[in-house]
Amino acid sequence: MKLLTDENRKKIVDALFYIALTIELVLMIVEKSELPFTYESYVFRATFLLTFLAVLIMKHDRKEWIFIAVIWAIAAVSYYICGKNDMLRVVTLLMAARDIDLKKAMKYCFYVCIVGFMLIALLACAGVLGNIVFVFDYGRGVGEEARYTFGFGHPNTLFSSLFVLILMWIWIYGRTAGVLPYIVLVVSSVIITVLTKSRTSALILAATIVLAIVFRLFPKLADLKVMYILETLVSPVFCIVISVLAAGWTGAMYVGDKFFWNLGDLYWKVEKVFNYRMSTIYYEAANRDAVLSKWKLFSARGTDSYFDMGFVRIFYWYGIIPAVLLVIALLAVIYMCWKKKDIWTMILIFALSVYTIVEATFVTRYLGRDFFLLIAGVYLGYYFKDKGESDVGKA
């Protein structure tokens, strides 16, 4: 009698995956709060082992096993050189997500996040944990500002948490939602923007909602190839180019690196647009290793400083080769979106990519923040498994 049937195999893999996912989500929620927790590295190892075991139990053909071995080898080299196991954890989670019920998993993430974020806010409002509002000079040239946090530690963290919920709602419900839910969405976005005063991020959120409304009203636009071409030009092309320019300009201004032209006042005009985030590339990175001239094929140990501008941080934290692999994976997901006419996943790619130019919320050790990994895992899995078109991108 065959002990490990296909049905049992699927149940075991699903159980391992959801245990790992739940742990990552809970850890992410704890990290967003002001609750101290110092055992993240042990938890990360546990979730990696769960997803690693899931991948081993899953059925793969020879081609897929070769691909898995190559990707694991590259991730292991990255781990050995730079001392960060994030890439190894990410690629293993992506592989383990291949066969999940994507709609179910996204809803699970959505509602776990809602419960967790509400708990953080309630504890702050009750005076148990965290502050409701911070009055502080945030360095934006306007002096002290009152910006709400509701227990999330920083107003931008509060905004990014609501941003994530909105993106998940758009993907799960946006394609079929009526007028009233969209009105609630717009009003909620205005309220959170007023409370947190996260100006740059608010513009990205507004553009995302406008795109969602347009594609909800005109669903036939999803059939146009030009939509997918335009998004590819935005992400990853535009996002990577802007980030390379930012790292290069910063090196030219602060380190004296040779770059394309003498910037003069242009640098500071661009800096103002980015709310002086480019300067943090130089000032916040240990040994100034985040400027373009210091980028390496694989990053080095000690390159673990935190700063905004997420795409720059990817190159700084992990190196050029891991960043290129990320771009290739993103292009593969975009191609699958085009094949399946899934414009709603493209909206998420647009929002997350443009947001990551200026913020680094999704460049993190906490994989629970990166809900898009679920979508990417399933979509990349389509290259190795014959699935029907009907279940892609539908929620």
CA distance 269 to 220: 40
pLDDT, tens only, 227-275: 999 999 999 999 999 999 999 999 988 888 887 666 667 888 888 888 8
pLDDT for res 90: 98
The answer to whether the predicted template modeling score (pTM) of the entire model surpasses 0.75 is: yes
pLDDT, tens only, 172-224: 999 999 999 999 999 999 999 999 998 888 999 999 999 999 999 999 999 99
pLDDT for res 276: 86
Indicate whether 1 pLDDT > 50. Answer: no
Q: What is the DSSP string of 161-207?
A: HHHHHHHHHIIIIITT--HHHHHHHHHHHHHHHHHH--HHHHHHHHH
pLDDT, tens only, 35-89: 888 899 999 999 999 999 999 999 999 999 999 999 999 999 999 999 999 999 9
pLDDT for res 275: 82
For range 144-166, the mean pLDDT: 93
Q: What percent of the chain has pLDDT over 70?
A: 94
Helix, coil or strand: residue 319: coil
Mean pLDDT score of the chain: 92
For range 316-328, the mean pLDDT: 96
Question: Burial level of 10, CB count in 10 A (0-12/13-18/19+)?
Answer: middle
pLDDT, tens only, 349-388: 999 999 999 999 999 999 999 999 999 999 999 998 765 4
CA distance 76 to 99: 24
pLDDT for res 3: 65
Q: How many angstroms separate the Cα of 300 from the Cα of each of 39, 149, 205, 243, 284? A: 23, 34, 34, 20, 16
Q: Where are the domains of the chain?
A: 6-96, 131-217, 220-363
pLDDT for res 108: 98
Instruction: From 246, 262, 249, select the one nearest 356 (Cα to Cα).
Output: 246
